[in-house]
């Protein structure tokens, strides 16, 4: 492993994420063009990322659960805001209208 490889290794994730500055990306591509080992690492990084993405999609929460969680978060933050402002919690709305 050369110094160039060590430098490349540090930036592989950013490179795969497309977050390298154009100058660094060009340097990385030049290195990858002649370094099999780093090219293999880039391929592995890409494979890992797409696997993580697929697993993430597979375990995404069902829509109903997500909505319930969002409601709970909204309630919690309203309750916190009320407590912080010293306000009384909002009265419950009586559906019967009594």
Report the residue number, 5 or 14, with the smaller CB distance to Zn ion: 5
Q: How far is the CB of 41 from Zn ion (least distance, A)?
A: 8
The residues, any chain, with a CB within 8 Å of residue 66's CB and separated by 6 or more, are none
Residue 10 or 75: the one with the smaller Cβ distance to Zn ion is 10
Chosen residue from 5, 13, 14, 25 binding Zn ion by CB under 5 A: 5
Q: Which is nearer to Zn ion, 9 or 73 (CB)?
A: 9
How many angstroms separate the CA atoms of 65 and 54, rounded?
A: 20
> CA-CA distance, 49 to 56, in Å (whole number)?
10
35 binds Zn ion (CB under 5 A): yes
Short-list 38, 36, 30, 35, CA closest to 12: 38
Q: Does 14 bind Zn ion (CB under 5 A)?
A: no
């Amino acid at each position: 492993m050369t110094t160039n490889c060590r430098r490349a290794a540090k930036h592989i994730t950013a490179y795969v994420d497309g977050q390298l500055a154009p100058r660094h990306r060009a340097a990385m591509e030049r290195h990858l063009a002649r370094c099999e080992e780093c090219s293999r690492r880039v391929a592995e990084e890409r494979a890992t990322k797409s696997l993580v993405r697929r697993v993430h999609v597979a375990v995404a929460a069902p829509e109903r659960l997500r909505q319930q969680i969002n409601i709970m978060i909204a309630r919690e933050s309203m309750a916190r805001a009320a407590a912080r402002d010293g306000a009384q919690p909002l009265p419950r709305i009586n559906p019967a209208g009594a």
